[in-house]
Amino acid sequence: MKSLRWLILVLALPLFCGHAMAGEPLRIATEGAYPPFNYIDDQGNLSGFDVEIAKALCQAMNAECTLEAVKWDDILPGLTQNKYDAVIASMAQTPERQKFADFTDYYYRSRSTFVGSPTKPFVQTSEGLSGLTLTAQRDTVQARYLQDNFSDTATIRNAPTTDEAFAMLVRGETDAVLSDSLTIFGFLQTPEGAAFDFVGSPLPESDPSSTARIAVRKGDTQLLNAFHKALRDIRLNGTYDKINRRYFPFSIY
């Protein structure tokens, strides 16, 4: 799950912006570069847990929806600029983001942790990681954590996407990647990830990246409440669990 450093200029947006007007679909944005939650599949289609959850929520709301992939750096600014109505992209709720968006209840939980070589020492302290290179996807909670806790002794080299962060690990360009444990789980199932494992300790549960939520424009209470009801509905009717099982052999709720 993710967070950003934002420098956003918001131009007098009304507290309630129209969405899904008569005959218009509900517009949903995701990233498309954060497997297994959202990615472009071999046929060029948006796929992943987030995408299937979005479609299930739209069905529960009896709403026609469109989904589009948006570059992570642009995803929250696009929401404030009314380019779409909601973001379903494993987004974490942070105080900074709450200035620009409202958030639903969580729709999955996880922890951030490191992945690296299990054959190398990994002492998760500033002194223990001295001289190592550490990586996260840029503009995320994890990237901020690395900067705040290890930049005085370790080299921080962040990547534009999570996939690229893992690729840097495979190429030997970094010693460890800090990411969502569920994205790491997916990476470890790949041939490229077979030589790696979880290392160190997960970040505390109080870390903002522990829960993923849906973002809507600030003040859009109608849509926020509709998502709340739809989330409850797909949990109660078994749809959520069916989607969960397609991606993980354990519950992530």
75 falls within a domain: yes
Cβ neighbour number for residue 172 with a 10 Å cutoff: 9
Residues 195 and 116 in one domain: yes
Statement: residue 15 has pLDDT above 70: no
Does the residue 80 lie in any domain? yes
What pLDDT band is residue 140 in, cutting at 50, 70 and 90? Answer: confident
**Considering the domain boundaries, does residue 9 fall inside one?**
no
- Is residue 160 in some structural domain? yes
Query: Residues 35, 97: one domain?
Result: yes
Q: CB 138: neighbour CB atoms within 10 A? A: 20
Per-residue model confidence (pLDDT) at position 192:
96
Angle at 190 between CA 186 and CA 195, to 5 degrees: 105
Single-letter amino acid code for the residue at 124: Q
Let me know: does 216 contact 222? Beta carbons within 8 Å: no
Which pTM does this prediction carry?
0.81
Domain span including residue 193 = 112-199
126 and 178 housed in the same domain: yes
Query: Measuring CA to CA, how many Å separate 60 from each of 73, 76, 236, 247?
Result: 30, 25, 11, 21
The alpha helices in 94-220, defined as continuous H runs, are 141-150, 162-170, 181-188
Percent over 90 (pLDDT), the chain: 82
| Cα dihedral 26, 32, 35, 36 in deg (nearest 10) | 20
Nearest alpha-carbon partner for 176 in 148, 149, 147, 199:
199
Residue 57's CATH number: 3.40.190.10
| Res 206: pLDDT | 73
Instruction: Give the chain's mean pLDDT.
Output: 90
> Does 217 share its domain with 161?
no
Per-residue pLDDT tens for 63-80? 999 999 999 989 999 999
Strand order in the sheet with 155-156: 155-156, 133-135, 176-180, 112-116, 197-199
pLDDT tens digits along 165-181: 999 999 999 999 999 99
Q: Evaluate whether residue 39 is within a structural domain.
A: yes
For the chain, the domain total comes to: 2
Question: Does residue 175 belong to any structural domain of this protein?
Answer: yes
